[in-house]
């Protein structure tokens, strides 16, 4: 059930993203945007669609928000992979955008993917203007100078800091860098339905941290063919991670606790949230 729904969501989100990009003027910029939007687990889009399903919002209605969070995520990866940031040459098993083209194209494609994310949230399919505007405001808060980009800036600063980060500091960093956008994705259905997003926000807070701990574990234990990205970079760079701070077994135990917390937060929704419970379990068990 879970795997089938995730596969279906991956396919429908890819179709919708490709259709939107195809409407832009042809050229290298559009090619690079299209390229950066291929593949990926689509967990953020899936969160949007399944969060929306709890409130009986059909996938067609929530789809522009699902695509928006993936476009936003793709922009952050394209810029984060650039030589002046993480300098990664491999992403989702393919050369990164600045390797495939050049740095200017990566900068511009990332810029335009961010714009595309906000544009998608103005799509009439999502519902009335106040709901769409609330999504725009929520995505801006989650992804800007107090959300994702703030976390990325803390991450860059940590690389040149004299001492490794503490557990408290790395938790704050990751709440911005990965947690904020996962929070947007989880809340989006409630925002569209004009319902209280608090249970989904609590779910996302635990899920986001579990997701990042799982990423840190994969960086140590993972397989580059399965993850499609360079691994062991954190240890080589001497960066503090949840694994370096808690140990491998400690990190796995903490991810398990957070998974249980995430599942518990969904209690108000009963069995309507079963897929989101499965998603929490998948997050910490995934191999990629």
Q: Which is closer to its own copies, CB of 157 or CB of 235?
A: 157
Contacts of 27-35 spanning 24+ positions with Cβ under 8 A: 28/101, 28/105, 29/105, 29/108, 29/109, 29/112, 32/97, 32/100, 32/101, 32/105, 32/106, 32/108, 32/109, 33/109, 33/112, 33/113, 33/116, 35/94, 35/97, 35/100
**Count of chain residues binding its own copies (CB under 8 A):** 52
Q: Which is closer to its own copies, CB of 187 or CB of 277?
A: 187
Q: Are 84 and 104 in contact (CB under 8 A)?
A: no
Q: How many of the other CB atoms lie within 10 Å of CB of 181?
A: 24
Q: How many of the other CB atoms lie within 10 Å of CB of 283?
A: 23
Q: Which is closer to its own copies, CB of 157 or CB of 237?
A: 157
Cα of first residue to Cα of last residue in the chain, in angstroms, is 20
Stretch that binds its own copies, among 134-142, 188-196, 231-239, 273-281 (CB under 8 A): 134-142
Contact flags string 59-98 toward its own copies, x per CB under 8 A: ----------------xx--x--x-xx-------------
Stretch that binds its own copies, among 24-32, 47-55, 189-197, 257-265 (CB under 8 A): 24-32
**Site residues (CB under 8 A) for its own copies, limited to 150-179:** 150, 152-154, 156-157
Q: How far is CA 72 from the centre of its chain?
A: 8
What size, in residues, is the chain? 288
User: Whole-angstrom Cα distance, residue 53 to residue 55?
Assistant: 5
Q: How far is the CB of 183 from its own copies (least distance, A)?
A: 15
Q: Which is closer to its own copies, CB of 44 or CB of 254?
A: 44
Rule CB under 8 A: is residue 19 a binding residue for its own copies? no
Rule CB under 8 A: is residue 102 a binding residue for its own copies? yes
Rule CB under 8 A: is residue 241 a binding residue for its own copies? no
CB-based burial of residue 274 (10 Å sphere; 0-12 exposed, 13-18 middle, 19+ buried)? middle
Q: How far is the CB of 159 from its own copies (least distance, A)?
A: 9
Q: Which structure tokens are listed for 144?
A: 């800007």
Query: From the list 22, 129, 167, 237, which residue makes contact with its own copies (rule: CB under 8 A)?
Result: 129
Stretch that binds its own copies, among 6-14, 20-28, 45-53, 235-243 (CB under 8 A): 20-28
Rule CB under 8 A: is residue 248 a binding residue for its own copies? no
Q: Are 259 and 205 in contact (CB under 8 A)?
A: no
Rule CB under 8 A: is residue 28 a binding residue for its own copies? yes
* Beta strand extents in the chain (DSSP E only): 90-91, 94-95
Applying CB under 8 A, the residues found at the interface with its own copies are 21, 24-25, 27-30, 33, 75-76, 79, 82, 84-85, 102-108, 110-112, 114-116, 118-119, 121-122, 128-130, 132-133, 136-137, 139-141, 143-146, 149-150, 152-154, 156-157
């Amino acid at each position: 059930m879970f795997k089938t729904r995730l596969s279906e969501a991956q396919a429908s989100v890819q179709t919708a993203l490709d259709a939107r990009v195809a409407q832009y003027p042809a050229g290298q910029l559009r090619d690079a945007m299209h390229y950066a939007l291929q593949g990926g687990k689509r967990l953020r889009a899936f969160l949007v669609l399944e969060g929306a399903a709890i409130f009986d919002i059909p996938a067609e209605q929530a789809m522009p928000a699902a695509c928006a969070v993936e476009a936003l995520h793709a922009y952050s990866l394209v810029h984060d992979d650039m030589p002046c940031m993480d300098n990664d040459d491999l992403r989702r098993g393919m050369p990164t955008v600045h390797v495939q083209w050049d740095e200017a194209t990566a900068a511009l494609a990332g810029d335009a993917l961010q714009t595309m994310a906000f544009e998608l949230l103005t799509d009439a399919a999502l519902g009335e203007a106040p709901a769409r505007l609330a999504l725009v405001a929520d995505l801006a808060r989650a992804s800007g100078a107090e959300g994702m980009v703030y976390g990325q800036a803390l991450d860059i600063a940590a690389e040149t800091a004299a001492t490794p980060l503490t557990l408290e500091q790395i938790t704050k960093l990751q709440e911005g860098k990965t947690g904020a956008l996962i929070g947007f994705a989880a809340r989006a259905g409630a925002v569209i339905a004009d319902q209280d997003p608090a249970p989904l926000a609590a779910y996302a807070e635990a899920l986001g941290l579990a997701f990042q701990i799982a990423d840190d574990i994969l960086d140590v234990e993972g397989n580059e063919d399965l993850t499609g990205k360079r691994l062991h970079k954190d240890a080589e760079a001497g960066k503090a991670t949840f694994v370096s701070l808690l140990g491998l077994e400690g990190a796995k135990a903490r991810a398990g606790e957070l998974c249980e917390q995430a599942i518990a937060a969904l209690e108000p929704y009963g069995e309507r949230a079963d897929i989101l419970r499965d998603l929490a379990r998948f997050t910490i068990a995934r191999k990629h």
